[in-house]
Chains A and B, each alone.
Chain A
Amino acid sequence: MLYCAEVSLGTDNCPHPGSLGGMCYRCGKRLEEESGVTFSYICKGLRLGNDEIDRLRNTDMKHLLRHRKLYLILDLDHTLLNSTLLLHLTPEEDYLKSQADSLQDVSKGSLFMLAFMNMMTKLRPFVHTFLKEASEMFEMYIYTMGDRPYALEMAKLLDPSREYFNARVISRDDGTQRHQKGLDVVLGQESAVLILDDTENAWTKHRDNLILMERYHFFASSCRQFGYHCQSLSQLRSDESELEGALASVLKVLKRIHNIFFDELANDLAGRDVRQVLKMVRGEVLKGCKLVFSHVFPTKFPADTHYLWKMAEQLGATCSIELDPSVTHVVSTDARTEKSRWAAKEAKFLVDPRWIETANFLWQRQPEENFPVQQTKPEENFHAKQMKDQ
């Protein structure tokens, strides 16, 4: 007693835009070969062909632009939060176990004990306000190198009512490449995407979209993981400043970029590129500064390939090898060098290289007097510290 009927769409001339459960969702045909990109975070078993991805990117983009929104991809670890395995807690951190916030109402809490995952998670200060305000300007994604169960648990802590991310939680199980993050699994045009991540190397193909975040090291295990031998925030019983920390600073930048993109650019909405706005805003931070480096890289080193040189240029400064009257800053690690003494004599600014890095993280030129150069050689070589970071 089989009931058969004509299928409304011919299965032969169907372009098979995508499939769910192994069946084309336009004609129902069982698809044997697995083509296209997996988008399991949207629907389990969903695969989309390239044309369909382009089509969806296009319609989604138009929809978002109409609502004055761009895309924001958020990393989890060290960007929005810091997690540690319980067995990695030091004795000085034991006090945290009794201070954990309730899991019943996570909207006000920041420190959570997730015993069923054997870990503790601390949300970065200001994160609730950050998400609330950013959600008005951006459609947000979580993109983490953690596995999917971890990603979903963190999403529950950050977004219990599913209003910020909904299904847009991408984990390493969703990525197409092993140790790289990519925008190929994001249904948004690259020209409208901004990324917040603490790890530059995860986004080698999309550096122009990336806003690098200063790492949030709350737990001792996090400091150890990156080779720092200092005490962590938890050991010092302290925390990052809520109103002056990384999230608050970057929120101001995002507001600025959003404002420029929607209200100050003259050309057609579809032709605007947020990467150019980002570049422009970044280039204003150290505008007008002319820097010369001293005792920062070896003499024979091609100076303009050094990351500090390139960072300073991206921030809008001009860099030079030779001293001349137009130089405004000497960036040095030793106050006794010729160039450092020249700066002191000519009343130019003499700053430690961290002056550039802090400007990069806080998107603001920092007061030069806060970054004096060491009179004696510092204990830990500056470069060695940076090398560990790379």
Chain B
Amino acid sequence: MFFHIVLERNMQLHPRHFGRNLREHIISKLMKDVEGTCSGRHGFVVAITSVENIGKGLIRDGTGFVTFPVKYQCVVFRPFKGEILEAVVSMVNKMGFFAEAGPVQIFVSNHLIPDDMEFQSGDMPNYTTSDGSVKIQKDSEVRLKIIGTRVDATEIDKNISQSRPKWDPAGSHPSRFFCIGTIKDDFLGVINDPTTI
């Protein structure tokens, strides 16, 4: 689920940036550092919407660096147990299927797929009802319920900006959230068949 919250962060700045562009620099550094990171408590920071306040800078003893406390508003995303989500199927195998909703990866085991759906192996492995009317395969959109969550919260190293997860439906990045889901309840399941227009 998405939330719009206020967070605070201490930004450390090198003196070379002191000048008339100080505020812009703090904000752009904040965005570079924070957007795309993930914390266990707040979740995945999607985007910073505004900067509420930049406090007085404090010079660090012994170095020339200055620390600015920055209060900012941002949109965060965090899955919760019991939450109902829409996700895109990324992989199907005989154990169940994996689906992704942004930085969240959900596994739905075949125990939690309706009994009338059977696994079909082949080039495009899928789960299909006996009459073939409903099919779950890669790129299908499904509505599922989360029944367990796990957060791999890691502060992204500022020096390794490439490792920041991007929005990637194919899921090639390591997910920050991993969840167990189900589609066995009412109104859950496929919401969009990728084979039809």
| In-complex Cβ contact of A25 among B80, B107, B123 (8 A) | B107
Q: Is the CB of B93 within 8 A of A167?
A: yes
Q: CB-defined interface of A223-245 with B at 8 Å, one 1/0 digit per residue? A: 00000000000000000000000
- CA A163 – CA B123 in complex, angstroms? 8
* 29 A-B pairs (CB sep. < 8 Å): A3-B80, A3-B83, A4-B81, A5-B82, A5-B83, A7-B81, A7-B147, A8-B147, A8-B182, A8-B185, A17-B111, A21-B178, A22-B150, A23-B180, A24-B148, A24-B180, A25-B96, A25-B112, A26-B109, A26-B111, A26-B112, A27-B147, A27-B148, A28-B81, A28-B147, A30-B148, A43-B93, A56-B94, A163-B123
Q: Is B3 in the interface zone, CB < 8 Å from A?
A: yes
Q: Is the CB of B1 within 8 A of A25?
A: no
CB neighbours of A18 from chain B (8 A): 95, 109
A58 to chain B: closest CB distance in Å? 12
Interface residues of A in 8-48 (CB under 8 A from B): 8-9, 17-18, 20-30, 42-43, 46
Q: Is the CB of A25 within 8 A of B111?
A: yes
Secondary structure call for the A interface: loop
A153 to chain B: closest CB distance in Å? 18
Interface residues of B in 147-161 (CB under 8 A from A): 147-148, 150
Q: Give residues in B with beta carbon < 8 Å to A.
A: 1, 3, 80-83, 93-96, 107, 109, 111-112, 121, 123, 145-148, 150, 178, 180, 182, 184-185
Q: Is A87 in the interface zone, CB < 8 Å from B?
A: no
| In-complex Cβ contact of B107 among A30, A43, A63 (8 A) | A43
- CA A20 – CA B180 in complex, angstroms? 8
- CA A28 – CA B149 in complex, angstroms? 8
- CA A56 – CA B110 in complex, angstroms? 11
Q: Which residue of chain A has the shortest Cβ distance to B123 in the bound complex?
A: A163
- CA A282 – CA B178 in complex, angstroms? 50
CB neighbours of B1 from chain A (8 A): 3
| In-complex Cβ contact of B109 among A1, A5, A6, A25 (8 A) | A25
Q: Is the CB of B150 within 8 A of A21?
A: yes
CB neighbours of A28 from chain B (8 A): 81, 146-148, 180
A187 to chain B: closest CB distance in Å? 8
- CA A1 – CA B83 in complex, angstroms? 13
Count, chain A residues at interface, CB 8 A = 30
A19 to chain B: closest CB distance in Å? 9
- CA A20 – CA B178 in complex, angstroms? 9
A27 to chain B: closest CB distance in Å? 7
CB neighbours of A163 from chain B (8 A): 123
- CA A238 – CA B96 in complex, angstroms? 48
CB neighbours of B146 from chain A (8 A): 28
Q: Is the CB of A23 within 8 A of B148?
A: yes
Q: Is the CB of B82 within 8 A of A3?
A: yes
CB neighbours of B178 from chain A (8 A): 20-21
Q: Is the CB of B3 within 8 A of A1?
A: yes
Known: A3-B1, A25-B112, A43-B107. A9 touches B147 (CB 8 A): yes
Starting from the known contacts A20-B107, A42-B95, A60-B94, 18 additional A-B residue pairs (CB-CB under 8 Å) come to A3-B80, A8-B182, A9-B147, A18-B95, A18-B109, A20-B178, A20-B180, A21-B150, A21-B180, A23-B150, A25-B107, A25-B111, A25-B112, A28-B146, A28-B148, A42-B93, A43-B95, A56-B94
- CA A43 – CA B182 in complex, angstroms? 18
B145 to chain A: closest CB distance in Å? 7
CB neighbours of B109 from chain A (8 A): 18, 20, 25-26
Q: Which residue of chain B has the shortest Cβ distance to A167 in the bound complex?
A: B93
Q: Which residue of chain A has the shortest Cβ distance to B152 in the bound complex?
A: A21
Q: Which residue of chain A has the shortest Cβ distance to B109 in the bound complex?
A: A25
Q: Which residue of chain A has the shortest Cβ distance to B94 in the bound complex?
A: A60
Q: Is A2 in the interface zone, CB < 8 Å from B?
A: yes
Q: Which of A2, A4, A8, A60 has the most CB of B within 10 A?
A: A8
CB neighbours of B180 from chain A (8 A): 20-21, 23-25, 28
CB neighbours of A60 from chain B (8 A): 94
CB neighbours of B82 from chain A (8 A): 3-7
Q: Which residue of chain A has the shortest Cβ distance to B98 in the bound complex?
A: A43
A159 to chain B: closest CB distance in Å? 14
Q: Which of A6, A18, A25, A30 has the most CB of B within 10 A?
A: A25
B95 to chain A: closest CB distance in Å? 6
- CA A22 – CA B1 in complex, angstroms? 23
CB neighbours of B121 from chain A (8 A): 63
| In-complex Cβ contact of B145 among A1, A8, A23, A24 (8 A) | A8
A388 to chain B: closest CB distance in Å? 43
Q: Is the CB of A2 within 8 A of B80?
A: yes
A161 to chain B: closest CB distance in Å? 10
Q: Which residue of chain A has the shortest Cβ distance to B188 in the bound complex?
A: A8
A135 to chain B: closest CB distance in Å? 13
- CA A4 – CA B182 in complex, angstroms? 16
Q: Which residue of chain B has the shortest Cβ distance to A52 in the bound complex?
A: B111
CB neighbours of A23 from chain B (8 A): 148, 150, 180
- CA A222 – CA B173 in complex, angstroms? 39
- CA A42 – CA B110 in complex, angstroms? 14
- CA A382 – CA B175 in complex, angstroms? 58
Q: Which of B121, B148, B185 has the most CB of A within 10 A?
A: B148
Interface residues of A in 149-166 (CB under 8 A from B): 163
- CA A63 – CA B82 in complex, angstroms? 34
CB neighbours of A42 from chain B (8 A): 93, 95
B2 to chain A: closest CB distance in Å? 11
